């Protein structure tokens, strides 16, 4: 590999000749040989939005000339479009502020601008990575700002739509099976009847609640600490820079970000991200329950519950011919488990740091962005390849319902709990029907039993 020499405050360092990054990035790539994870591309590309907005704001405030502004816009547009992705080699596991990534961005943009202007790479002409691309900024305020921008974009433009689609399919299933009474189950044991539609609608309601909380949590992430520079005071920036740069961020993203009133809070602590990650964990808990219930309800097909039939997507076993497994549900379960684990990392990272700076920013954003992607991808796949193809096995449902001892619960208001329990115990011990037991105990006639025991009527309030 051919190299060129670039210089930073520590002296000269070799940089790959065909890369746009500079000395500080080369040092960081060598100093952090940790793991395989790199900074998420969402952060890299969205940094282009921040740098573009800052350049426009600095120009409007008279701090850079039009030539520099135009070069910054062109280079940032390439970064935003993903054309410069190959120039970001630094490990995710770097300094807790994200300084290495901020400078990686500044150097790549500066060298790309040098190339555009016909200057040598590393010349820092006509735009300097620190003096111009980092003007009115610090890593400490730009990194949490880009974190928030990335999370809001990924949530609003990707995740929410997928969750809404899942909610609609659950609603469709609830409507389709609203009159299909079946055995309810509590503690994994037979309980009073419920309709299959009510079972699906329970999932719809759980998801709907989580969606509301998710959308609400975004408003706290939309308060950006940009303009706070190093410790939240705004040193080395002009008054009003914060509102200007946020205005340009909104023009670029189509979102409704605001400049945070207290920028120190957004630099030193990340309670907003902890809160958001907690909502993702709540969604993961919903995913896990949905996955497990589908696995149980489809178990069999002959020796399990088998009340629903799932699509046959692929052979389920390398040794057992004809076996079909709930693979989409299992993938959903595993994704949910990882999201829960990610939330633990976010909580630890969010509680870290001292005084004016949280020092686990890369850890926090990596886990949150991974969680968003895992939830979105796994739910989308589950919805498309499993939920939409689920069909009820109505014969199996009817057979279980007719055999259920818990239908006796409807007799509580008629003959009392004790006599109803006696009927259930007799039926179970002697392996006879509830009706036979009730008649033999002389608590009800056969006609009275049939009048009071109506499984469909037991799926809603039934007392006058």
Q: Binding site for substrate: what residues are annotated?
A: 97-99, 128-131, 138-140, 186, 318, 323-325
Q: Which residues are catalytic?
A: 187, 317
Pairing status of strand 11-16 against strand 3-8: antiparallel
Cα 381 from chain centre: 14
The answer to whether 22 touches 89, Cβ cutoff 8 Å, is no
Q: Rounded to a whole number, what is the distance in angstroms from the first to the last CA of the chain?
A: 85
| Torsion angles phi and psi, residue 415, rounded to 5 | -120, -5
Binding site residue list: 97-99, 128-131, 138-140, 186, 318, 323-325
Q: Quote the longest CA-to-CA distance of the chain.
A: 102
Contact status, residue 395 vs residue 180, Cβ threshold 8 Å: no
Residue 434 · residue 424 · CB < 8 Å: yes
Closest CA to 222 of 279, 260, 261, 271: 260
* Cβ count near 295 (within 10 Å): 19
- Report the SS3 class of residue 413: helix
Q: Are 15 and 4 in contact (CB under 8 A)?
A: yes
Q: For residue 156, what is the DSSP state?
A: I
Task: Count CA atoms within 13 Å of residue 233 on its CB side.
Answer: 5
């Amino acid at each position: 590999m051919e190299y060129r020499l670039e210089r930073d405050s520590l002296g000269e360092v070799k940089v790959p000749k065909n890369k746009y990054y500079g000395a500080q990035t080369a040092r960081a790539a060598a100093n952090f040989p940790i793991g395989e994870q790199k900074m998420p591309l969402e952060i890299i590309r969205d940094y282009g939005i921040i740098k573009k907005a800052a350049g426009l704001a600095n120009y409007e405030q008279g701090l850079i000339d039009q030539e520099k502004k135009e070069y910054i816009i062109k280079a940032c547009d390439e970064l935003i479009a993903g054309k410069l992705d190959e120039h970001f080699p630094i490990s995710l596991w770097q300094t807790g502020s994200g300084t290495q990534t901020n400078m990686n961005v500044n150097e790549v943009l500066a060298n790309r601008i040098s190339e555009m202007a016909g200057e040598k790479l590393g010349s820092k002409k006509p735009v300097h990575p620190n003096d111009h691309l980092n003007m009115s900024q610090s890593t400490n305020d730009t990194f949490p700002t880009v974190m928030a921008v990335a999370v809001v974009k990924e949530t609003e433009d990707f995740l929410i739509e997928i969750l809404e689609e899942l909610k609609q399919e659950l609603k469709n299933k609830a409507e389709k099976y609203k009159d299909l009474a079946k055995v309810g189950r509590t503690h994994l044991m037979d309980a009073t009847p419920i309709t299959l539609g009510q079972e699906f609608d329970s999932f719809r309601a759980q998801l709907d609640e989580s969606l509301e909380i998710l959308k609400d949590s975004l408003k706290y992430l939309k308060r950006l600490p940009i303009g706070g520079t190093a410790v939240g005071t705004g040193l080395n920036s002009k008054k009003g820079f914060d509102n200007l740069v946020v205005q340009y961020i909104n023009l670029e993203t189509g979102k409704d970000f605001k400049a945070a009133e207290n920028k120190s809070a957004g630099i030193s602590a990340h309670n907003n991200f902890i809160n958001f990650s907690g909502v993702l964990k709540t969604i993961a808990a919903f995913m896990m329950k949905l996955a497990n219930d589908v696995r149980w309800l489809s178990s069999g097909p002959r020796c399990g519950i088998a009340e629903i039939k799932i699509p046959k997507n692929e052979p389920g076993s390398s040794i057992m011919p004809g076996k079909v497994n709930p693979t989409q549900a299992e993938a959903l379960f595993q994704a949910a488990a990882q999201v829960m684990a990610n939330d633990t990392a976010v909580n630890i990272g969010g509680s870290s740091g001292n005084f004016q700076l949280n020092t686990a920013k890369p850890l926090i954003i990596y886990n949150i962005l991974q969680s968003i992607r895992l939830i979105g991808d796994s739910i989308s796949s589950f919805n498309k390849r499993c939920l939409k193809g689920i069909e009820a096995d109505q014969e199996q449902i009817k057979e279980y319902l007719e055999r259920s001892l818990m239908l006796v619960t409807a007799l509580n208001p008629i003959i009392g709990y004790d006599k109803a329990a006696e009927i259930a115990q007799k039926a179970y011990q002697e392996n006879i029907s509830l009706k036979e037991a009730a008649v033999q105990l002389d608590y009800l006639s056969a006609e009275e039993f049939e009048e009071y025991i109506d499984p469909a009527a037991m799926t809603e309030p039934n007392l006058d």
